[in-house]
Amino acid sequence: MSASVFLPPEWALQSAVMLTWPRRDGDFANSFDAVEGNFFAIAVAIARFENLHVNVADDAPGLAAKLVGAGVPKSKLRVFQVPNDDVWARDHGPITVLRSGDAGSDHPQAVHLDFTFNGWGGKFPHLRDNELTRRLITLGAWDAPVETVDFVLEGGAIEVDGAGSLLTTERCLLSPTRNPKLDRAAIEALLIDKLGVQRVLWLKHGDLLGDDTDGHIDTVARFCNAHTIAYQACDDQDDPHYADLAAMAQELQQLRTPGGMPYELVPLPLPKPIVDEDGKVLPAGYANFLIVNGAVLAPVYGDANDGLAIERLRSCFSDREIVPIDCRALIHQYGSLHCVTMQIPA
């Protein structure tokens, strides 16, 4: 019997969520205390609902003690001391699939796929992050096997619906700085083979100013269930995001479920621009939420639209608690809540 592969959607049961802790000498050095406070809030919120896996570059016992002191139950916490470059666990962490039929067994087995991470097309240091998942093997972090895949792919670049569909952006996956020897058809074939999906849905539009990932899907459009997509909208025609996000909304309206029905589309408001000390607009948005067991952790920014975003997400996840997390410190390195987390399926 040949093996079948399934990439669980984010709302499937999870065994843990992985974080990679910020370094005092890293990109957040100038705002370390603020961003570490952001991470403590995320860690405590995750641990309310499930286990927490934390990678840290140094002093794992010290961080573990601080996390327990902050309210993370010791029984739910595992901390691993492992070299890293940055905090973006969504992109350097494993993408975990379930396989059945391997080794004569029909029972699904988890496999951590370790895709190549090249710093979003060579923009930033990445060698330690690219080795992180494999290093964790030697620390006893993984019960499941790790398989290295010679293909550049970040977790933030893909969304799956659990029904055979994968949603992504052309700007990211067809970028010549990731897999230049592979064309669109070859990339689709690899995703279908490695992730067990049946089709790839491509968006030409959808981007937030300040995003340095070449248009990760998890900043603009997210599956909430097999027939619902929450997406980043913009109602202000004078906003520089307006034309591109409106074009993306039109693309989403043309998509169909595997059963031939249009998706239920839930627009999320756009927060007012947040800028850094140089006046550069940061990619703040509400689509970068994290689904965990029994809850959705939602990024907020001290903006007038925070409440409306929470209300819209509550309509998508009526069976889950919506937990707002202030991500104003985190957004200053061009990512938000989903970007710093990676769920490990049960």
Please give the positions annotated as active site.
339
Determine the residue type at 81: Q
Strand order in the sheet with 221-225: 221-225, 228-232, 264-268
Measured CA angle at 206 (ends 170, 307), to 5 deg: 145
Query: Tokens representing 316?
Result: 């998508």
Half-sphere exposure of 282 (CA within 13 A, CB side): 21
Q: Please give the Cα distance from 116 to 95 (Å, whole number).
A: 11
CA-to-CA distance for 266 and 313, rounded, in angstroms? 8
**CA within 13 Å, CB half, 204:** 6
Q: How many whole angstroms separate alpha carbon 309 and alpha carbon 295?
A: 15
